[in-house]
């Protein structure tokens, strides 16, 4: 499976993509659910692309507190280049949530001067800069969520962002288990579960497994999933 639909290779024909992957010395590896895919260090320049499965970017501070930074679905991209963190203060790793197939390339291979000065190589560099912009925007969204004062406000803010990105006609879905969601929101799991139950009882939230719907205070017709 080639990552031709990934933003890193946007605008590049499949045959050019295949040729460039050879030029980049791309490496494909498979990982079992629950295994660690990679750990970032200050010197790491590898970029990973999720070809299949789901993974999570997880950060541990000096006290060992675990925080989920983001989830990574198919065609998502990750690397130390995108973490915006100081390895001296925390450790960030990518963990497989399901069985995964990951393609690795080195950033230095992408950004080095192309001997043939080919247009597709220049396009990949442009796409890499676009990815940096997208990751910065995602970081801004995360700051918005974590800056909320209460567990309720953090949860509602997170769900509103998920809802806004859900295609029309589809039910929004939380990409985490309750435990993982508590790690993402940096709150106690039991306290989060109590808050979810309270919002359900108030009629603010309808949730079934990971699918959810937020209701305005005036809503009275709560359609169940």
Convert the pLDDT of each residue in 90-146 to its tens digit.
788 899 999 999 989 888 877 776 666 567 878 888 888 888 788 888 888 888 999
Convert the pLDDT of each residue in 205-217 to its tens digit.
999 888 999 987 6
What confidence score (pLDDT) does residue 139 get?
80
Residues 6+ apart with CB under 8 A from 3: 9, 17, 49, 51, 75, 103
Convert the pLDDT of each residue in 163-173 to its tens digit.
998 988 888 99
Q: Where does CATH 2.60.120.10 sit in the chain?
A: 7-145
Check whether 161 has a pLDDT greater than 90.
yes
CATH number of 150-214: 1.10.10.10
For CA atoms 216, 217, 222, 225, the dihedral sign is: positive
Report the mean per-residue pLDDT for the chain: 83
Q: Where does CATH 1.10.10.10 sit in the chain?
A: 150-214
What confidence score (pLDDT) does residue 54 get?
92
Q: Which of 36-50, 77-91, 190-204 has the highest mean pLDDT?
A: 190-204
CATH number of 7-145: 2.60.120.10
Model's pTM, two decimal places? 0.72
């Amino acid at each position: 499976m080639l990552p031709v639909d990934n933003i890193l290779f946007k605008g590049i024909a499949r045959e050019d993509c295949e040729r460039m992957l050879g030029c980049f010395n791309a490496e494909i590896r498979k990982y079992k659910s629950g295994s660690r895919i990679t750990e970032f260090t200050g010197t790491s320049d590898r970029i990973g692309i999720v070809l299949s499965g789901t993974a999570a970017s997880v950060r541990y501070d000096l006290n060992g507190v675990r925080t989920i930074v983001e989830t990574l679905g198919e065609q998502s991209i990750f690397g130390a280049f995108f973490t915006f963190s100081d390895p001296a203060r925390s450790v960030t790793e990518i963990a497989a949530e399901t069985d995964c197939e990951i393609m690795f390339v080195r950033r230095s291979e992408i950004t080095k001067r192309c001997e043939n000065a080919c247009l597709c190589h220049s396009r990949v560099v442009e796409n890499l800069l676009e990815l940096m912009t997208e990751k910065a925007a995602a970081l801004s969204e995360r700051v918005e969520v974590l800056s909320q004062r209460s567990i309720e406000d953090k949860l509602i803010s997170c769900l509103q962002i998920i809802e806004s990105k859900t295609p029309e006609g589809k039910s929004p879905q939380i990409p985490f288990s309750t435990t993982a969601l508590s790690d993402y929101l940096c709150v106690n799991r039991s306290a989060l579960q109590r808050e979810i139950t309270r919002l359900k009882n108030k009629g603010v939230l309808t949730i079934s497994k990971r699918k959810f719907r937020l209701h305005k205070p005036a809503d009275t017709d709560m359609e169940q999933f």
